[in-house]
Chain A
């Protein structure tokens, strides 16, 4: 009954795969986002007090934003109408800018401007361009999914970020727009346009509106036309900006210097992120990262400052750009197919060897005789069949995983901008008074955050490397399936690759959970921090990042299809191991011993001097008289004249832990049985034994290494 159930499940999975495969074959690799995607926190309670109601629809995460016109209409299945959103929010740009400043800065500006205009809180800070003039605004009808294709996919509210600069053909057309040829060259590049040097005299407007697309990323003629249309409109915007700045210099002069400095240094105005992030900067606005220690007096304080800065910047950068990292697309490319064919051939070779071993085991009585038929006629063809469909199955799993990831990415995107703002706010307020443990704890805690960030990034890249490696390992491992003893080992890579592929959606699911946890932790800190509370919060954040980062690494444990030490047990194995891998194993064992000896050597050198008189080094291989051990339990060592390696002088255990059973059989095989049985066994086993013996030697080396941890003194004795 169980087998029928299993078969039914297999059948269902196959039908499901068929349906899914037929569907995904026709589908665009980048699925369209559901409507309402990329929104910030669901409640508006973090908006500043007195935030005007008519501006709420331009701030991502509010109910008004989610109900906005950009998610209805033609772009509703394609991620939302970004052009329409920018049109609307640009008309309110100066107000949104004002509200994106921190409370303190808003106060400052209100005070400084009150004298000139009377009560003006909520009115525009200064005139911007184009404000409400839609003839200079970007066109509507441009959906987020298309912009993603022409720019770059990242974790912002809208799911993309603009290109660094427009492609050369577009640039030619852009410069032909009215007055656009007068715009200096460095403004046509986002990085240079946003640099400090260029941010005066209306220059910040170029930076804030550098909505460039790279039209070389279009994939068909009409796509190219639309992309160029957008770029040309931005060219018109730049031309109009130049014209406006030229004519309105006096307006710019009217703004007091302090106000302009505050505005241009605010994160709300930094580059073009304000728009792609849906102006979430109004939620929590803060100035630059506050130093941890204001007047660093020693290097620990300096390090605390830099660790904090690095942790904040790194977290910012990595969390924002998690999307689009680590996808392996080459499973059916010619180079991989070639390599996979070779690995299939290797798998068949392994299968041939395994069948020989099966024969030996059967004749030795370890496998029941009646199993030979199922092994030959069921497992062998089954393995070959399975080897052929492995890439198809892996590709199906990859497609499934990518689809799941895209869905889960939306979950993450909803919290990332809000989280980052909260995190920055939490860390902003953290200084040596508020963090328990001071500068040293800052180094440790922010260090952990940095480590967590890097692990997270590298963990996501693991899939790119891991999937092809494991696919090849599966093919080779399937060769081992015919041998009952190795069956479990051969299935290990399959489990690993499944785990690895589905670790990405799980990672994003975990990230969504973790981000929410971090978010609520960060939020709580803004309401007042006790000393231990801030420490706990930062450790929680670091812990969350590290957990997410190391999750894929635990899978590495299962990668090797070579046998481990546990497979070295049992008398039936050791003759083969001894016969085939004797020479290699000896050298490996010796290397491990000498490595261990050298590692512990210096610490026990002094005792050698103590033994000088009584413990004369015996001839190589023989046990010298037990030297005058100081009773500390440490072995004594002398230099082996022949090989120059340190070897133990005594062979009696000095009270160290018991040897592992693997070591025992290994040692016994070497010592007693192997010495006499080697010639005959070696001749009989031949090449097959060598193939098995090499991994056995590796296992033996591992077993040897394990016993070093138990402080057992015995080395590998050398029979002559």
Chain B
């Protein structure tokens, strides 16, 4: 026997409809709160990132040291991190090379990892990049010297927004393992950096590291090697400390 009592339900009095309305609102409350939370979360993230970018801009302007290099860097963030490159291949190559060196300086405790992240990392760094920065972070300053001396930089790909550069560098290392002993080694490595054009500058977004090749191994280079590409010419060096 079908139940017909529901048919008149809608006009069954304001009491029941009011009750129905209240319970409907209560039912929706959770969904609305969840949606609000997510919106707040997303907005908060974007706001925080914007703030980081703008604060970095003020820091760099305050700490500007105009170096006058044609492709950059045109400022030193916190006096130790080169930033501000031109929007072309050489600018991208300079940015990538300087990042490899800045990472090395972070490892030696001369740069704070958070400063480096704020100054030259893109908004969505890859996991490999985060891992490398994490390894370099939190180390005390050491008397040992590690210099990444770039021997060659090859631009593997270039567009207006993104460039990939492979840098072959010698890691000149001087250390004093025991009193009276000094050792020097120079292991070579290839770092492939992807930079993205963001906020009027080249920012590092991806990172790949490989040991080698050693100089004895590079006289004949096959097509796939980073060193087989177009190398960037016109290299000069300067010191910052």
Interface residues of A (CB under 8 A from B): 3, 6-7, 10-11, 14, 18, 22, 25-30, 32, 74, 77-78, 134-135, 137, 139-141, 146, 149, 167, 169, 172-173, 215-216, 218-226, 228-229, 232-233, 365, 369-370, 373-374, 377-378, 381-382, 385, 389
Contact = CB atoms under 8 A, between A and B. Distances in A.
B3 to A, nearest CB: 6
Interface string B164-191: 0000010101010110010101010101
B232 interface: no
16 contacts: A7-B29, A18-B41, A26-B130, A26-B134, A28-B131, A74-B140, A140-B178, A215-B187, A216-B211, A220-B100, A223-B107, A224-B209, A225-B173, A374-B28, A377-B28, A385-B38
Contact of A139 (B30, B131, B175): B175
A91 to B, nearest CB: 12
A493 B148 CA distance: 50
Report which residue of B26, B183, B189 has the largest number of chain A beta carbons within 10 angstroms of its beta carbon: B189
B13 interface: no
B122 to A, nearest CB: 13
Nearest to A145: B135
Contact of B187 (A10, A78, A169): A169
A18 B45 contact: yes
Chain B contact residues: helix, strand, loop or mixed? helix
B187 A224 contact: yes
Closest 3 CB pairs of A and B: A28-B134, A139-B177, A225-B173
A540 B186 CA distance: 56
B58 interface: no
B48 A74 contact: no
A491 to B, nearest CB: 14
B10 to A, nearest CB: 10
B146 A222 contact: yes
B37 A219 contact: no
A218 B209 contact: yes
A381 B27 CA distance: 13
Contacts of A74: 139-140, 142
B132 A220 contact: yes
Contacts of B177: 139-140, 229, 233
Interface in B102-149: 103-104, 107-108, 114, 117, 127-128, 130-140, 142, 144, 146, 148
A6 B189 contact: no
A7 B33 contact: yes
A218 B148 CA distance: 15
Contacts, number: 156
Contacts of A135: 178, 181
Nearest to B20: A370
B31 interface: yes
B146 A221 contact: yes
Contact of B138 (A25, A32, A220): A32
Contact of B134 (A27, A228, A382): A27
A146 B135 CA distance: 8
Report which residue of B24, B35, B209, B211 has the largest number of chain A beta carbons within 10 angstroms of its beta carbon: B211
Contacts of B48: 22
Contacts of B29: 3, 7
B31 A382 contact: yes
A25 B130 contact: yes
Contacts of B189: 221, 224
Given A220-B104, A221-B146, A224-B171, A77 B138 contact: yes
Interface string B70-103: 0000000000000000000000000000001001
Nearest to A76: B140
